[in-house]
Amino acid sequence: MKSILKALCLLLFTIHFGCKAQTIMQEQPLENRTTSTTGVYYKDFDNFLNTFEGTYLYSNGNTSFKIILQKKIKSSINGRYEEDILIGGYRYVENGIEKINTLNALNTILPNGWFYPINGNNIMEGKMRCPTCDDNEKWILADIKDPVGNHVNELFIRKTTVGGQDAIKIFIYHALESASPDNAPAPLPINHPINQEFTLVKQ
């Protein structure tokens, strides 16, 4: 009888602390969020981020720009909250010379999606910061990182088609960087294009 009671107590103890260890996050829509609240999972209910997934390529002579985008589910932000996010890597070749290649970053599983070379989940709509967008067009505002030159710039990503094929239009916006102290080393050049629009066709 004692052994049965011990086993029952052990089972109840395991269930109690096992359930306590699992944090149940409250689900809220990713789209139109204005805050980042502890204990919330910002979910892409409409699977809008999925529509951007894939491998995309711009090619013009011996210059090319390749981007791979993936949707990461429940990216953990320091255990405070979770969110769905678009992540990616890229390779830029200019005049036959590879300037930067971050595609291998996608081979590493990171808990926080913001650590990837391309990352973002701001679902924008209409002409806000995108004068050439349609009034009801939805697009993604993300970041693109240059780990070689140690730069982070804004990346606008829009869905489009080229000859019936799915494609994306991207624009990399180079924000003004804060002034460095007089004795600071000169900033390294940015290894990807900036302030240019590219159309990349889905492969």
Q: Which two tokens stand for residue 171?
A: 């624009």
Confidence of residue 159 (pLDDT cuts 50, 70, 90): very high
Residue 142: phi and psi, rounded to 5, are: -130, -175
Confidence of residue 187 (pLDDT cuts 50, 70, 90): confident
Asked if residue 106 is part of any domain, the answer here is yes
Do the beta carbons of residue 180 and residue 160 sit within 8 Å? no
Assign 168 to helix, strand or coil: strand
Average pLDDT over residues 159-177: 90
Asked if residue 132 is part of any domain, the answer here is yes
Average pLDDT over residues 159-185: 82
Q: What is the mean pLDDT of the chain?
A: 88
Asked if residue 183 is part of any domain, the answer here is yes
Asked if residue 90 is part of any domain, the answer here is yes
- Count up the domains in the chain and report the number: 1
Tens-digit pLDDT profile for residues 73-110 = 999 998 999 999 999 999 999 999 999 999 999 999 99
Give the CA distances from residue 115 to residues 79, 135, 190, 200, in Å, rounded to whole numbers and listed in that order.
15, 32, 18, 23
Confidence of residue 21 (pLDDT cuts 50, 70, 90): very low
Average pLDDT over residues 60-64: 97
d(CA 159, CA 4): 62
pLDDT reported for residue 182 = 65
Check whether 57 has a pLDDT greater than 80: yes
HSE-CB for 84 with a 13 A CA cutoff: 21
Asked if residue 196 is part of any domain, the answer here is yes
Q: Which domain does 107 fall in, by range? A: 47-202
Alpha-carbon dihedral of residues 19, 38, 76, 149, nearest 10 degrees?
-160
Asked if residue 15 is part of any domain, the answer here is no
pLDDT reported for residue 74 = 96
pLDDT reported for residue 103 = 98
Do the beta carbons of residue 70 and residue 50 sit within 8 Å? no
Check whether 23 has a pLDDT greater than 80: no
Asked if residue 37 is part of any domain, the answer here is no
Q: Which two tokens stand for residue 60?
A: 């013009």
Residue 195 DSSP one-character state: S
pTM: 0.84
